[in-house]
Structure 1
Amino acid sequence: MPTELTKVNYVTAATATGAGRAGHVTSADGLIDFDLGKPGSTTEPTVNPETLFAAGYAACFQGALANRAKTKGVDTSDSKVTAHVSFGPSEDGGFGLAVELEVEIPGVDPAQAQELLELAHQFCPYSKATRDNIVVTLTAV
């Protein structure tokens, strides 16, 4: 059963036009306005939906990590979250995603770092949105 919002704090929008992965995207605020390219293009580096998803997930998880770490009295201001997003054929005959969240928290022992990752994963809106839909691996480095 989906979790309902109790209050809307923010709304944004983005529009894709053209040929999907080889089209163009713009955001309502104008901060995003560029052509897309298919993943793995070697002719010219381009942004693709997986790159945008990786950036969003990494930033969201970073915020969730800071929030959950604060409840434990741990400072994560020097931490780094990298979202590795994989794209490829899936078992159902279509295509799908998988994510590895690689997190570095300087000065925190591995066991506590893993605990914080698990807490952040339960709290992060991107993690909630992907839960039980794609494989998400949490790696403390």
Structure 2
Amino acid sequence: MINRKATAVWKGTGKEGAGTISTQSTVLENTQYSFNTRFAEGKGTNPEELIAAAHAGCFAMKLSFELNAEGFTADELNATATVSLDPSKGQVVKSAIELKASVPDISAEQFATIAEKAKKECPISQLLNAEITLNAELV
């Protein structure tokens, strides 16, 4: 079992308050977040942005492993995840992954099959209770 930890500290009300997020690795160290960084355009991060980063990173790494298992090595995998929060439902409803990949000697069909498998088996994909889409482009 591998455990990773992050800590959030919040002070004040939901709308006027503010918080910080720190990670075990200290990559994030008292990083600001607030109502404005979540629902407007304030300086700082927000939970959905952090989930998007985790999903993009996890998917790219999983895809690399899946490609390697099939005998391919990517020159580059550029994955962007866009996480959508529906404020009326109070839940994340979607994570859309956009992928541009450079993989030598692979057919479009092989690539699509491997990318779809990585999307389904990525640990963050499995964690999310939301629609997950993938638009994968072999360049």
User: How does the TM-score come out when normalised to structure 1?
Assistant: 0.78
Secondary structure of 1:52's counterpart equals helix
Shift of 1:109: 4.3
Per the alignment, residue 70 of structure 2 pairs with 72
Take 1:29 and 1:105, find their aligned partners in 2: how far apart are those partners? 28
> 1:119 aligned to 117, 120, 125, which one?
117
Q: Which residue identity does 2:32 align to in structure 1?
A: D
Number of aligned residue pairs: 128
Structure 1 residue 15 and structure 2 residue 35: aligned? no
Shift of 1:46: 2.0
Take 1:79 and 1:29, find their aligned partners in 2: how far apart are those partners? 24
Cα contact 2:48–2:85 (8 A) shared by 1: yes
Deviations 1:65-115 (A, max 9, x none): 01111111121241111111111136xx43323111111112454333321
Cα RMSD of the aligned pairs, angstroms, is: 2.2
Per the alignment, residue 20 of structure 2 pairs with 24
Per the alignment, residue 105 of structure 1 pairs with 101
Take 2:25 and 2:65, find their aligned partners in 1: how far apart are those partners? 27
Specify every segment of 5 or more residues in structure 2 that has no aligned partner in the other structure, as ranges: none
Higher strand share: 2
> 2:53 aligned to 52, 55, 58, which one?
55
Take 1:122 and 1:88, find their aligned partners in 2: how far apart are those partners? 23
Shift >2 Å, 4+ stretches:
19-22, 28-31, 37-42, 93-97, 107-113
Structure 1 residue 35 and structure 2 residue 35: aligned? no
Alignment of 1:81-92 (within 5 A): 81-89=79-87
* Cα distance change of structure 1 residues 22 and 117 upon mapping to structure 2, 3 Å threshold: farther
Specify every segment of 5 or more residues in structure 1 that has no aligned partner in the other structure, as ranges: 1-7
Report % sequence identity: 27
